[in-house]
Amino acid sequence: MSSLSARLLISVSVLLLLFFGATVIVLDTAFRTAGEQARRDILDGHLMQLLAAANPNDEGALSFPPDLHEERFNTIGSGLYGELRDDSGELTWRSRSALGLDIPQGGFPRLGTRVFEREALLDGTPLLTLSLAVQWEFPDGELKPYVFKVAESLDSFNAQVAEFRRQLIGWFAAIALIMLLSISILMRGLLRPLRQIEGEIGEIEEGKRTSLSEKFPTELTGVARNMNLLIDNERARSDRYRNTLDNLAHSLKTPLAAMRALIGDKGTSPQVQGRFNEQIERMDEIVRYQLRKPAASTADNLVLGPVPVAKEVERLVSGLRKVHHDKQPRIDAHVAPDMKFRGDTGDFLELAGNLLDNACKWCRASVSIRVETSGDTPGGMLLTVDDDGPGIPEEAAEALLERGTRLDEATPGHGIGLAIVRDIARSYGGWLTIGRSPLGGARITVDIPPAAERR
């Protein structure tokens, strides 16, 4: 995705989704918890009503009046049910509302302890139940244990929670859309200077202007200033190239004219003269062609693009496995996610290719390459190659960096690989170090700083 606006919108959308999603979950949980606590308090009140309505009868048991104060106990299918059981679990009383229903008995709670449970009827209707075990003292002083139980259907409560959740999601979705629309409008204004820079660079490429303007926000002033300096430097370099080639062409014209005159003076045959003149004309055309090249390629290499490290390392490893198929070394590659090398692709291939090739030549069985960011600043690269070979003696490390120096003349090579790697690293402001590998062989490390820190 190349659009900065799209990236920002997607990033903000993800953040809003996570934030509002977490908020919806928290509010939904809080609403459900508060609702369940309120249901428990109501059930406790209904249980107290049953306790207050219970009275001993002449048979030495508890009984209830035909009509209770809470009308829902008296209405069949009202969703509020009550029952009374003795210490053996036998049902001694059930409210009229529970007619035809089989309320789960549940366990026998401890005396004086309220037990809330989630249960269900046979048809799957969810229930919230409250049980209380008491010792009832009759007028003759006898104590009998009873279990009072009230139950309420959770259908209406679950419907309220579902409706609350739908409204919550709907409102937050509307707020998120409004916020995204507002942010997109705001970003269009904030990104206008970037579009201005893009347009002005296009005008420079078309030759309609010579430099970027200076009317940019503070954060982009340095970018515009450095871009103008880069354009001026490249223009000055192009002028130097052109002047050098002009001087060269001017210097060659006189010798070429003299060559024509000498050929004519010696009375050379017309056929030979024609051949000489043909080659002289070709030389003249080459000079004119080289004079035209700088103007056409002034900004070919202004900025080096990022090199996808993982892709190039994979290609190198695949190729080296074929080159060293007789030895069949195990090559382990570890590349940081989205790792990019800020430089020329050929330079990176020279760096990694030379080091991997040397490691494969000297290893016994294993080679490892690791590419990661150098330090805490993005843009740098730390390239490390390890092998399990004999290693490099400390006293020979510095000598190996000189062109043509080799540890073993019997091993194929020219002795310039490490020197090339060191020179390329230096060209990017980096350095090369030789050490001992955890695998037992040599460890070669190339540290290249970010572009902003290169000298």
pLDDT digits (tens, 9 = 90+) for 96-118: 998 888 888 877 788 888 899 99
Query: Of 319-323, 347-351, 359-363, 382-386, which has the strongest mean pLDDT?
Result: 382-386
Strand order in the sheet with 366-372: 330-335, 366-372, 381-387, 442-448, 431-436
Lowest mean pLDDT segment, chosen from 35-39, 58-62, 146-150, 204-208:
204-208
Q: Is 221 helix (H, G, I), strand (E, B) or coil?
A: helix
Mean pLDDT of 4-29: 87
What's the pLDDT band for 90 if we cut at 50, 70, 90? confident
What's the pLDDT band for 410 if we cut at 50, 70, 90? very low
34 pLDDT higher than 70: yes
Mean pLDDT of 360-369: 92
330 pLDDT higher than 90: yes
Minimal CA–CA distance to 86: which of 152, 53, 135, 140? 135
CA 197, 202, 208 angle in degrees (round to 5)?
110
Lowest mean pLDDT segment, chosen from 8-12, 42-46, 256-260, 301-305:
301-305
d(Cα 348, Cα 335) in Å, to the nearest integer?
Answer: 14
Q: What is the pLDDT of residues 110-143, one digit of tens each?
A: 888 889 999 998 888 999 999 999 988 888 888 8
Mean pLDDT of 228-235: 80
293 pLDDT higher than 80: no
List 133's β-bridge partners, or say none.
Answer: 111, 147
Q: What is the pLDDT of residues 244-292, one digit of tens each?
A: 666 666 566 656 666 666 666 555 566 666 656 655 664 665 465 455 5
Q: What is the pLDDT of residues 60-75, one digit of tens each?
A: 788 899 888 889 999 9
d(Cα 263, Cα 277) in Å, to the nearest integer?
Answer: 9
402 pLDDT higher than 50: yes
Helices 155-190 and 4-53, axial angle in degrees (round to 10): 160
What's the pLDDT band for 380 if we cut at 50, 70, 90? confident
For residue 287, the model assigns a pLDDT of: 60
> Contact 400/392 with Cβ under 8 angstroms?
yes
CA distances from residue 215 to 191, 197, 209, 225, 228 in whole angstroms, order as listed? 14, 10, 15, 11, 13
**How buried is residue 344: exposed, middle or buried, by Cβ count under 10 Å (0-12/13-18/19+)?**
middle
DSSP 97: G
**Distance in Å from the first CA to the final CA of the chain:** 33
In the chain, the percentage of residues whose pLDDT exceeds 90 is 26
d(Cα 389, Cα 385) in Å, to the nearest integer?
Answer: 12
218 pLDDT higher than 70: yes
Domains and CATH numbers, the chain: 6-159 (3.30.450), 218-296 (1.10.287), 306-453 (3.30.565.10)
pTM: 0.42
